[in-house]
Each structure stands twice: as C-alpha cells, then as structure tokens.
Amino acid sequence: MPRILRAASVAAVCALLLSGCFEADRRLVEGAIEEWQAPSFYEAPDPAVPGDPGEIVRSETIASTMAGSVAWRVLYHSRDVHGDDILVSGVVVAPAEEAPPGGRPVVSWAHPTTGSAPRCAPSVGADPFDLIEGLRALLDAGYVVAATDYPGMGADGPNSYLVGQSEGNSVLDAARAARAIAETGANDHLLLWGHSQGGQAALFAAQDAASYAPELRLDAVAVAAPATDLGALLDEVMTDVSGVTISSYALQAYSTVYADRGATLSGLLTPAGVAATPKMASLCLIGQNSAIHDIARPLVGQYFSGDPSKVEPWATLLAENSPGAVPLTVPLFVAQGETDTLVDPATTKTFADHECTIGSRVTYLPIPDTGHGLVALRAVDRVIAWFDDVRAGRAVDSHC
C-alpha cells in the first residue's frame, strides 16, 4: 500500500479511537500503525551475518495482540531444502500472565495458503494473528503459539510453496525462536498444528524434528485437510480456477528451487500457462483474489500440457514433497471436511490409512458438511482436547 494511503488508513482508524475505543478498535488502530511502520523490519542485515537455526535476528513487540496476551514479530534464521542459511519471519504469541513452574509447551502453527510472494505473509497485514486458527483457545489452554510466514514470505528469500523440507524447517525454527524469547516462558515441549498447505508443512516438520531439532521434545502433530499426495492434488484441481491458482504457486516455486534438476514450466504447461504463471504467483490469495482469478479463469482446462504426476522431473519432485515416506514417532490427528472440493476427502483418508500401515498412530476425524475453509476452525476444540490427552498419557481414538 502506498505510504499516503497507509497514512489515510491510520487517520481513519484513529478517528474511530476518538469516538470511543473497544477492544476491536484498539487492535485495528494499533495494527494499522504497525502495518504502516513494519516494512523495514523484514529487511535482511547488510552485510549478512550467519546464524544457527531458530536464532533471532530481530524481534519487536506487537501492540495489536488480543487482550490477555503478549506478542512479537520475529525475524529468525532457518535452513532451506538445499541446507542454505536463510531468514524467515513470523510471529510469537504467549499468555500475558506469568508462566507456570516448568514453563509452557509451544504449538507451532503452519498456515494455509495465502500466496507465495513476500507481501502475502500473514505477519505483514494489519492483523498478523487473523490466520492462526484457534489462537484464542490455544492461549487459554496455556500454550505459546509460534507462527511462521514460511521462507520467501515476509522476509525475502527462496520460494517455499509446497517445498516440504523448507516449510517444515521454518515451522521448527519458529518454535526455537519462541523459546529464545524469555518472556514467553516456553519449555522444550512442542506440538504441531497445520491446515492445508500448512498440513504438509507440519507433517514434514514432524518427520524431520528428531534429526533437525533434537532439543525439542515433539509430543504430537495435528493437521486439517492437509496437502499430502501432491501429484494427485494437482491432477484433481486441473479443471478448477482455484486449482489453477494454487498450481501456479507450486509450479513457480519448483521451477526456481529445482531449476538445477530440470524443472521448467515449459516442460509441463501450455505456452499460455507458462506466460501467466509468474503473474499469478506474484499475487496474494487474500486481497488480490479477483485479480488472480481473472488470469486463471481462461486457463481452466488449458493450463497443463501433461499430467504433473507422470511428467518428469515434476512427478519425482511432487512425490519427494508429499509427506508419508516414513512413519511418525508421535501421535497424528487428521481432520477432514467431508464436502471439501479442494483437498479430496478420499485422498486424505488414503493418507491416514497409509500412515497406519507404516506404523504411525492416527486419530482420524471426518467432519460432515464442512468444506476446505472451515475445517481447521471446526476441528480446533477437538485438537486441543486431543493435545491434552496425548500430553497426559491418556488413550486417544485410533483410526488404525
């Protein structure tokens, strides 16, 4: 947003403040001011200074957090799929009261798709907490919540859309960053929670936690409508405008991250698809939805020149970034809306069945009359109760 328009927005919400301030008004005012001032926060130090995964480069308090909590915007070190040291942004939120003896466990949240460009990061907006599904309930339950933006969003860096290891590392390193802020009272216990794209990120974080972040004691992982079989996902959405949109994010990411492995857009897309993909990938799903769909709509049925699950190197790359290659060592909760038209319920059920066959402990929750957008919100109370049961050593429902 141009600075003059940001200033006008701040002036408008300040007028609301003068007319009588409620909690929502306070958060709106402070969030608008912070959004106006925030861009410099995301700039990398010059010269660059290497750091350990999870090490914080800078942090700042967020005044617009909800009542009864304290929050920080953070810029921290992580590692991408190639092992390179990168900077990632996100937020950390904790209950305002003093932590109990022994500290608080961390829930590292992995958000659903908002885009893949830097300005699409959840932490950049006037309400950086809006997409943390279940935040109030998690804070009330006594958790510290860490929420990564993912690499390449917020802070400039390599595109990570559906790049499982890059996303998963950033989820784990957000938890490390939360522990580095003494005021959170965070201990070494970790739980993972993700929706859609974030489901894939959380699952990769769970797979890699023991080797990548051995100092964290992972207790459980919960996902809602996760992106699992990526080849099937792209195949299923070929004839849908939302599918073209999401495919553009993934294919643009892979064509840059895996360029050295021959991942070219022209090897999988029509000429029109090749031309449109960078344009779509530069737009955010929230706030620019109409613009991106205007580009995507004429490409429905005319986007792919081949099946992404069969054309190489795309088929191999999508398989490598599909979770489920190894059994999880902690319990897994999977929620799926039964009327989801983006992530096929049958694909999620197949994933849950597969996890059982390889030795994972799975609780599966199908939610009737629920589509893709609402599944995490409708599952979160069950997820928190399940987290409590797992941490207390109580028996939980098994799908296996």
Q: What percent of the chain has pLDDT over 70?
A: 90
Higher per-residue pLDDT: 278 or 236: 278
The DSSP secondary-structure symbol of 115 reads -
What pLDDT does residue 39 have?
A: 67
Helices (H) and strands (E) in the chain, counts: 12, 9
Q: How far apart are CA 31 and CA 23, in angstroms?
A: 12
Helix axes 289-296, 241-257, angle to 10 degrees: 90
Classify residue 313 as left (phi > 0), alpha (psi -120 to 50) or beta. alpha
Picking from 277, 284, 283, the residue whose alpha carbon sits closest to that of residue 302 is 277
Looking at the whole model, is its pTM more than 0.85?
yes
The DSSP secondary-structure symbol of 85 reads E
What pLDDT does residue 1 have?
A: 40
Could you tell me whether strands 56-61 and 69-79 are parallel, antiparallel, or unpaired per DSSP bridges? antiparallel
pLDDT higher than threshold 70 for residue 7: no
Q: How far apart are CA 191 and CA 54, in angstroms?
A: 16
Cα torsion 58, 62, 63, 66: sign: negative
Residues 346-364: what's their mean pLDDT?
A: 97
What pLDDT does residue 5 have?
A: 36
pLDDT, tens digit (0-9, with 9 covering 90-100), for 9-61: 433 333 333 334 344 443 343 444 344 445 689 999 988 899 999 999 999 99
Picking from 353, 400, 347, the residue whose alpha carbon sits closest to that of residue 372 is 347
Q: Determine the 3-state secondary structure of 141 from DSSP.
A: coil
8 A C-beta contact, residue 111 and residue 195 = yes
pLDDT, tens digit (0-9, with 9 covering 90-100), for 148-197: 999 999 999 999 999 999 999 999 999 999 999 999 999 999 999 999 99
Q: What is the 3-state secondary structure (H, E, C) of 254-276?
A: HHHHCHHHCCCHHHCECHHHHHH
Picking from 265, 267, 288, 263, the residue whose alpha carbon sits closest to that of residue 276 is 265
